[in-house]
Amino acid sequence: MKSKVVLLLFYIIFIFNSNLFSSDNNNTLKVGLLAPLSGPYSQIGNSLLYSLQLALEEIDDENVIIVPRDSGFNNEEMVINAINELRLNGIKIIIGPTTYKEFDLAKKYSDLIFISPSNISPEFSKNIISIGISLESQLIALSNFIKKQKKKKTIIMYPENNYAEMVEKKLESLNLKNVKKFKYSSNPEILTGEIEILTNYSQRKKNLELRKKMFEDKEDVQSKKELEQLEQLYTLGDVNFDSVIIIDFGNNLKSVLTSLVYTDVNQDNVLFTTINQWFDESIFYENTIQNLYYPSVNYKEYKKYNEKYFERFKIYPNEITILTYDALGLIYFAWKKNNGINSVNDFSFKNKIEGKIGTFSVMDGKVIQELDIYKTDNKKFVKF
């Protein structure tokens, strides 16, 4: 299987580059791809290449050509060489870079336009447009969802790590109402104690014990019934919030959810939400949470894309490849609409755009996705 995939990849690269030499006129849209085609992240780079092959097949325009170049991994020299080579081939628009760390290099080439799958910032950054699922888009979707559920006291939870400062700046810029911030340790042993403080767990435990003592020595039927009901509880009293937004992933997210349940946060009263999880099915096995809500791309389109990709290449794609797929569609749309592409301003549109990821807008120098809200329900992803 691996040898077939390698052969297919070689064929795709060969076709892309063959078309480059055979088509060199003003009616041709040549798009560069800056991706890690070698090194530890070559699987992602190759996956991006395959996704563009699918996009080309759907566009079905022989005047559109993809020119891939290897940017390596954490290799400034390779990135610079790749960009310069694309530039020498007359390419003015490039899909990439794939990581925010390479943005400073891309900004030096003011005559080129970069469309990146990065999700760090939705704002145009000089000559770079990021089309990733930004934290801003996700928080806007969650904030609107929480308002519709008539929740008025939201705790936004995020870990103390390298991204904490960025998260805080995003929250400050959005100026969300009726929210409080809670930064927690990534160490599960410390995390539980921090959430006990957040939920006033110790006092609520004491409240229960004091309440039970009021009925322990009484023999009347009503008191016994009351005590029996109290024995079913772990704490007594409500927490000081009615919804949470957890900005985390994977095992860290699961640790937070487990700690909230351990401290007896009532799931009937408190709405549990998190950010885009790319339909990670491992969340199904987090049995502590009844309903977990999060914003995401259109699930039906995402599933169809994955199935089409697998049918074509016999492997499943990396999540960000659907963004690259839409990036080429966006570039093609701008090229046709404006009879060419000269600057990032050619990507500002009054109307919203439908892509594989769903509906998004590119206006006023910013990319904002209109994300759907999904929930985990009986080991399924259900659109809310």
- 188 and 65 together in one domain: no
pLDDT of residue 12: 46
Residue 204, domain member (yes or no): no
pTM score: 0.85
pLDDT, residue 321, reads 93
Model pLDDT, residue 286: 63
In whole angstroms, what is the distance from residue 156 CA to residue 79 CA?
A: 37
- Pair 167, 247: CB distance under 8 Å: yes
pLDDT tens for residues 352-377?
A: 888 888 888 888 888 988 999 998 87
Whether residue 180 is found in the same domain as residue 156: yes
d(CA 340, CA 345): 12
Same domain, 79 and 181: no
341 lies in some domain = yes
Query: Which helix (H) or strand (E) element contains residue 144?
Result: helix 135-148
Judge if 303 and 349 occupy the same domain.
Answer: yes
352 and 264 in a common domain: no
Q: Mean pLDDT across the chain, nearest whole number?
A: 87
In a domain, 213, yes or no: no
- Show the domain range for 45: 2-132+299-362
Same domain, 69 and 145: no
Domain with residue 269: its CATH number is 3.40.50.2300
* Six token digits for residue 126: 């000089």
For the chain, 384 residues long, give each residue's pLDDT as a single digit of tens. 444 444 344 444 444 554 554 445 558 999 999 999 998 999 999 999 999 999 999 999 999 999 999 999 889 999 999 999 999 999 999 999 988 889 999 999 999 999 999 888 888 988 999 999 999 999 999 999 999 999 999 999 999 998 899 899 889 888 888 899 999 998 988 999 999 999 999 999 999 888 888 877 787 888 778 778 878 878 888 999 999 999 998 889 989 999 999 999 998 999 999 998 888 877 766 656 778 899 999 889 999 999 999 999 999 999 889 999 999 999 999 999 999 999 999 998 888 888 888 888 888 888 988 999 998 877 788 888
Does a structural domain hold residue 233? no
Look at residues 365, 363, 339 and name the one whose alpha carbon lies nearest to residue 351. 363
Helix, coil or strand: residue 114: strand
pLDDT at 284: 66
Distance of alpha carbon 265 from alpha carbon 260, whole angstroms: 6
Is 346 a domain residue? yes
Q: Is 230 inside any structural domain?
A: no
| Per-residue pLDDT, 341 | 92
The confidence score (pLDDT) of residue 175 equals 82
- In the three-class reduction of DSSP (H, G, I as helix; E, B as strand; rest coil), residue 234 is classed as coil
Q: Are both 151 and 291 inside the same structural domain?
A: yes
Q: Within this chain, do residues 144 and 269 fall inside the same structural domain, yes or no?
A: yes
| Residue 324 placed within a domain | yes
Query: What pLDDT is stored for residue 26 in this prediction?
Result: 59
Look at residue 380 and tell me if it is in a domain.
no
Q: What is the pLDDT of residue 287?
A: 59
The bridge status of strand 271-274 relative to strand 243-246 is parallel
How many structural domains is the chain composed of?
2
292 and 303 assigned to the same domain: no
Residues 310, 283 share a domain = no
**Whether 46 and 115 share a structural domain:** yes
Distance CA 142, CA 100 (A): 25
Both 13 and 101 in one domain: the answer is yes
